[in-house]
Chain A
Amino acid sequence: MKKTIAVAIAALFAGSALAQQAAGDPPWKQGMNPEQQKSTLHPFAPHMTGRDAKELPVSSLKVPAGFKVEVWADGIPEARSLALGDNGTVFVSNRNAKSIYAVVDKGGKREVKEILKGLDAPNGIVFSKGTLFVAERGRITRYDGIEGKLDSPGEPKVVVDGLDPDRQPGHFWKYLALGPDGKLYFNIGAPGNIVMPNYMQASVMRVDPDKGVLETVALGVRNSVGMTFRGKELWFTNHARDWLGDDSPNDTLHRVALGAKSVPNFGYPFCHQGDIQDPQFGKSRSCAEFSKPAQKLGAHIAPLGLRFYTGKMFPAEYQGNIFIAMHGSWNRTVKQGYNIMRVKVDQQGHASAPEPFVTGFLQDEKADPPMWGRPVDLLVLKDGSMLFSDDYNGILYRVSYSK
């Protein structure tokens, strides 16, 4: 299958300046121009065994006055998405690894358990009414009554299958979020950096967990790995294409009103960030035909999880703000991101430019690697404090506030 795709990509680019890709290149190299073939930029590999928080410069993390950030749990290799159980269990997913972890508070001591193993890129998790939903590459499953049987969750029931029929490389790990309609929302990304997607790809989809029927929510979305809701609005982050330079195009924040009659198309692969035509695919298209993002977040900054703050602990000015975890750039000579940003939104959906909230993971913007940690997803706990995950080290941090 890999071979067919390489051939298909080569065919797409035949005769163009982009036809330089060597057969078998990983998807992130796709779309380089000839001069970029010698580029030393590359994605960063996480520490697959996790790292000891004690060995890391955790005290260099910075938060605004009155806030505090501390390590909440370590020893959760490749900690990705977060979900909160009714009894307070914090569920943590993996992307390259294959497990789901549960962190349980036992009289002030937190115990980390690997509760599910051998899954296929189980990046997406949602907890609802006693059930843990897990989105693997190709399917979404459910583990009912999970908090009562963390030591033996048993076999899952399948909600929907066949989401990755071709088993090809690409952006096929999934984020999972629960909508106000009780449906599960998730992404199916693009199969490469800049490639013509098929009908199911570069989309946000949803599925009714009781019926297993899929619906398209948004198109032209290269890869969203963070979604959340405010009333009947879906908000999600999106990663724009690489290899168009340090400052372009921007990664974006999007808003979709549920129940609208038409499915919005945000432009990929023709148009990026609402106003930049792709040099190859966009030549004979106009950005005017596509929906616009709610905000530009920065080029290659890699926004992942996002949450509206509705907890009771942070000061009033943070109410209703969005926090976004920026995984940080690799496809940029001067690195940026690797932080938690704050975006203010009004009722009409206008979003402010992002401003830093938790910083300090980025040590040297020109070094390789430039950072010692990478935020992925956020979770507001019942007391109003906020957890965030770091897949580079396998650590969860907690941000709290006191006057």
Chain B
Amino acid sequence: MTFAARSAAASAAAFFFLAAPARAADPQLCAACHGPNGNSQIPANPSIAQQPRQFIETALYQFREGNRKNEQMSPMAEKLSNAELRELGKFFSEQKAAPPQHKTGAEAAAAGPGLAEKYNCVQCHGPKLMGQQHIPRIAGQQYDYLRVQLHLFKAGKRADIDGNMTSAAKSASEQELDTLADYVAGLSPQ
């Protein structure tokens, strides 16, 4: 993330914290970091629009329980009840994903589909990589975010509800993961 984007995010977040309405589960509170209706404008932050409901709920649960940790996100999840997590899951799963902000390079466009087959990405994330159940949509996700997460999984450092994703990332090389991020980030969510 650029410095400008980072400080914009920080001040937006600060604004929202100051002006925080009583309800911690207000989806407007998420816009500062996850963009309008959950479509992130910040390269390092994930879009949460049109993610499967169970994935959003599970991710929020993981942050709240301290199983997944992030300076910005953990405090947001800390005070939410299960009912609120479900409400947020429902809301963001029903928002439409915006077109991708990333343009896939020629090499990744050629190699991507084969790698996504080879490493079974499509088996779990779905034929169009739109996610299902507790598995996230990765089509059209922020490129920087995808890259970071994939390398974290490979290093065994990203929280993982069932060990499946860590195992998938471990089978691919660092370079293949970069190619996959480049490919997946440019796919239109549909």
B contact face: mostly helix, strand, loop, or mixed: helix
> Is A98 on the interface with B (CB-CB < 8 A)?
yes
Evaluate contact between A49 and B86: CB separation under 8 angstroms. yes
> Is A157 on the interface with B (CB-CB < 8 A)?
no
> Is A137 on the interface with B (CB-CB < 8 A)?
no
Interface string of B153-172 (1 = CB under 8 A from A): 00010000111101100110
Question: Contact check: which of A25, A52, A97, A369 meets B133 at CB < 8 Å?
Answer: A369
Closest CB of chain B to A117's CB: distance in Å? 9
Evaluate contact between B85 and A26: CB separation under 8 angstroms. no
> Is A77 on the interface with B (CB-CB < 8 A)?
yes
A contact face: mostly helix, strand, loop, or mixed: loop
List of A residues within 8 angstroms of B134 by Cβ: 45
Evaluate contact between B58 and A45: CB separation under 8 angstroms. yes
A44-B134 Cα distance, complex, nearest whole Å:
9
A169-B124 Cα distance, complex, nearest whole Å:
21
Q: Tell me which residues from 77 to 132 in chain A have a Cβ below 8 Å from any Cβ of chain B.
A: 77, 96-98
Query: Which of A22, A52, A96 gathers the greatest number of chain B CB atoms within 10 Å?
Result: A22
Contacts A23-B170, A38-B120, A49-B57; is A169 near B86 (CB within 8 Å)?
no
Q: Tell me which residues from 159 to 190 in chain B have a Cβ below 8 Å from any Cβ of chain A.
A: 161-164, 166-167, 170-171
Evaluate contact between B170 and A45: CB separation under 8 angstroms. no
Question: Contact check: which of B123, B156, B167 meets A38 at CB < 8 Å?
Answer: B123
Contacts A45-B58, A48-B57, A368-B132; is A26 near B162 (CB within 8 Å)?
yes
Number of interface residues of A (CB under 8 A): 29
> Is B7 on the interface with A (CB-CB < 8 A)?
no
> Is B82 on the interface with A (CB-CB < 8 A)?
yes
List of B residues within 8 angstroms of A152 by Cβ: none
Closest CB of chain B to A331's CB: distance in Å? 14
Q: Tell me which residues from 28 to 54 in chain A have a Cβ below 8 Å from any Cβ of chain B.
A: 29, 37-38, 40, 42-45, 47-52
Evaluate contact between B82 and A77: CB separation under 8 angstroms. yes
> Is A24 on the interface with B (CB-CB < 8 A)?
yes
CB-nearest residue of chain A relative to B123? A40
Closest CB of chain A to B175's CB: distance in Å? 17
> Is A75 on the interface with B (CB-CB < 8 A)?
yes
Q: Tell me which residues from 102 to 152 in chain B have a Cβ below 8 Å from any Cβ of chain A.
A: 120, 123-124, 132-134
A98-B61 Cα distance, complex, nearest whole Å:
12
Contacts A24-B166, A29-B167, A51-B86; is A45 near B161 (CB within 8 Å)?
yes
Evaluate contact between A26 and B132: CB separation under 8 angstroms. no
Closest CB of chain A to B185's CB: distance in Å? 24
Evaluate contact between B133 and A44: CB separation under 8 angstroms. yes
Question: Contact check: which of A26, A37, A40, A47 meets B163 at CB < 8 Å?
Answer: A26
Question: Contact check: which of A25, A44, A96 meets B167 at CB < 8 Å?
Answer: A25
> Is B78 on the interface with A (CB-CB < 8 A)?
no
> Is B94 on the interface with A (CB-CB < 8 A)?
no
List of B residues within 8 angstroms of A48 by Cβ: 57-58, 61-62, 161
A77-B161 Cα distance, complex, nearest whole Å:
15
List of B residues within 8 angstroms of A43 by Cβ: 162
Closest CB of chain B to A76's CB: distance in Å? 10
List of B residues within 8 angstroms of A51 by Cβ: 86
Closest CB of chain B to A370's CB: distance in Å? 12
Contacts A26-B162, A42-B164, A52-B86; is A98 near B170 (CB within 8 Å)?
no
List of A residues within 8 angstroms of B101 by Cβ: none
Contacts A38-B120, A42-B124; is A49 near B170 (CB within 8 Å)?
no
A-B contact pairs, 13 of them (CB 8 A): A22-B167, A25-B167, A26-B163, A27-B163, A40-B123, A44-B133, A45-B58, A47-B57, A48-B57, A48-B58, A75-B82, A98-B65, A369-B133
The 9 closest A-B pairs by CB, nearest first: A26-B163, A24-B170, A45-B134, A49-B82, A48-B61, A49-B85, A22-B171, A25-B167, A49-B57
